[in-house]
Structure 1
């Protein structure tokens, strides 16, 4: 099993594209994503799963460091590399492989990055440390000691309208909250247990304030279901809270850990899943839109392939992360392609719809496709809105050398298209053909 997973890591590292369809990042494993908007830009601060090298004694989750990302354009995530390595924690145990969920928040002109780690002094299972920077991407100056009086995992920060900050944390049967001093590095009062939450294992505290109401979102484990994402509300950041239900159902045999952010007027739920690895200790961050109902409750979020983002000119449109599909299927891409998925088993008049492609001002002149085909007769149409919508491009399908032999082809756009559009790819060949073409991605050019 370990050798297979190590081979998977190598394949992941060969992946050149980092796209905003689900999962958001495919070149490394990322979990526990905390999303923040700073100065109008979307950032994500996740944890990082790896496969331990032979001989390394690591816990079930092997997590040596933190990366961070920003959304560039409409569809591309920029990786800033390692923000903090486990062996650079001033007060931490070396080679602990336990760098769990972090958070980052801005107060004034300073960014504060909070993280849990195993302390060298063995005073607790986990302590929480903090670093500061004048830039959301660092570099951060790490405090020499952990925050006194705080023991636990999963720091979640809330900066209230009056400038007061609160640290939420904990895992197990209890979650805690404590106000922070103005320096954001010390607690202003002894942590208190958050009252009003349901029984059962809880972790992943993430607070937000919406229309004057404090929402505490958290991972909640039901005995007969496993991890869910739940929420409770209060009129006070310290509680007590009233449990309101689930935001997301259990996704399978493993954890879920999330954050919530408002970006460009839309609420987004960030979370993780493990569909790339098939192993729940090697996770990948995802995101889907979330909505508040008129009464202030949160509508249940269903995980999608499409996710968020609006690919624009020069960014890959991962068509396999579809909004709708008919007569075709998706599967892991074959051959020497970077790890991901493709549209396959395409038949006469089968089609796939991908919403929210940003044609911008209409400057695109061509469209590019990454395809593989083991036959020589057919075509692939790109239409607007629906399978019978305006035809904007047509690709002839030719033999590429086989179903795993990939070529990049391009064709002219047949008309000027601008603004945000839904596109539909329609596959055509002779009736009775079992396969027409495998399609990996499109790109406006």
Structure 2
């Protein structure tokens, strides 16, 4: 049995970290707070460009009644469900034309044109009365380094840049916040507007922000955050036959989540449409958000089936991916709760009784020979099994339950897979203990190797 310990990673530590691997389902990463995720596929690889939330500096809390946002990281999907953190793309004090120490770096976007990557972002300008201006940088790689333009884009005032590159290689910049959204064509250099921005017509009344356009089957979709007075932030969408509209409102993609903001993007990856969005399950505070993702479907008439936020999220974990087993598809006879002890932020399966189980779908087992489990237990009685597809399915691995020092004292244990397994299966963890026991073991994650 191999036993290791993982250190507690706090958000403050990761502000200075370099390259990190984040293993999670929903939310996608838990080592820092991420919001407003813009997802893009470049050369067959999935990237996400979110904003970031942090705590206000000590003594300055009153200055940030809403959000405190210091800059941007970039992430890429490196395996079945492993997100690599590429570190800082841009910090607020590195904006050439921006005010310092304002924590005002709201939602960004990144787009590729003719082999160059253009990163757009809002920031608070110095010596300018505008609430936000939008700047741009260019790079040879999606994660930078970027060469930042010394001034913001002229004639553009607002937040939440959303980019559309049409089939004719013409680009459009959507932006705005409040009761109006705007769009402008960009020049070929992607750094200037080719015409004065116009109001996007045909959208419903009410507060709107978070413009994200895309094209499908010759139809232009404009998705956006939309606030209903009696519901709060939702994600809505409208369609048009032209990139600059007018648009027709078609309904909601996602309902409000826990009475807070939502901000999103839509991307097609591996022939599946995905909605990226954010929530705040990790922090419990809607100013410290975490990005999430779920699959999205279109009906035959082109309308979008409303997405319900899930725990499981997207991706197909495989060898060397961490399986956050608490992000289950089904659970019976057990519970989940926020993880305790010296673990990184997240959840665990707990209160597992005799014959309780948790099912986690879509795991690619090709090449796996061992399974590791992260466990904590205050007793020495029982075991838990790993079975395929259902609680009575093929048994592929079994772990004994041993005392680890307490219910918040964590160890990593390892066992060998009983025989080679190929293909993609649902994994079911079945817990065994004495009848009448109220809990057997706390389980955080599994890892195939």
The TM-score range, normalised by the shorter chain, is: over 0.9
Pair 1:426 & 2:433 matched: no
Aligned-partner Cα distance in 2 for 1:12–1:409: 27
TM-score relative to the length of structure 1: 0.96
TM-score relative to the length of structure 2: 0.95
Pair 1:266 & 2:272 matched: yes
In structure 2, the residue matched to 1:317 is 323
Give 1:101's match in structure 2, choosing from 98, 107, 120: 107
CA-based RMSD of the aligned residues comes to 1.6
- Whether contact under 8 Å (1:9, 1:51) holds in the other structure is no
Report how many residues are paired: 437
Unmatched tracts of structure 2, length 5 or more: 1-8
CA deviation vs aligned residue, 1:87-138 (integer Å, no higher than 9, x gap): 1111111111100000000000110000001111223111111000111111
In structure 1, the residue matched to 2:69 is 63
- Whether contact under 8 Å (1:11, 1:338) holds in the other structure is no
CA distance 1:106–1:219, change in 2 (3 Å): same
- Whether contact under 8 Å (1:319, 1:440) holds in the other structure is yes
In structure 1, the residue matched to 2:349 is 343
Aligned-partner Cα distance in 1 for 2:365–2:385: 17
Pair 1:367 & 2:385 matched: no
CA deviation vs aligned residue, 1:9-31 (integer Å, no higher than 9, x gap): 45888998612401111111000
In structure 2, the residue matched to 1:4 is none
Pair 1:185 & 2:204 matched: no
Aligned-partner Cα distance in 2 for 1:270–1:314: 24
CA distance 1:70–1:8, change in 2 (3 Å): closer
TM superposition shift of 1:419: 1.7
Q: Residues 386-401 of structure 1 correspond to what in structure 2 (within 5 A)?
A: 386-401=390-405
| Structure 1 ranges of 4+ moved more than 6 A | 11-16
* Greater relative CO, 1 or 2 (CA 8 Å, sep 6+): 2
CA deviation vs aligned residue, 1:133-172 (integer Å, no higher than 9, x gap): 1111110000111111111000000000011100000001
Unmatched tracts of structure 1, length 5 or more: 1-6
Aligned-partner Cα distance in 2 for 1:346–1:392: 20
CA distance 1:13–1:351, change in 2 (3 Å): farther
CA distance 1:133–1:12, change in 2 (3 Å): closer
In structure 1, the residue matched to 2:34 is 30
Higher alpha-carbon deviation: 280-289 or 115-124: 115-124
- Whether contact under 8 Å (1:270, 1:285) holds in the other structure is yes
Higher alpha-carbon deviation: 118-127 or 280-289: 118-127
TM superposition shift of 1:293: 0.8
CA distance 1:309–1:20, change in 2 (3 Å): farther
Aligned-partner Cα distance in 1 for 2:134–2:435: 63
Pair 1:45 & 2:73 matched: no
In structure 2, the residue matched to 1:111 is 117
User: SS state of the match for residue 404, structure 2?
Assistant: coil
User: SS state of the match for residue 87, structure 1?
Assistant: helix
CA distance 1:317–1:128, change in 2 (3 Å): same
Pair 1:172 & 2:178 matched: yes
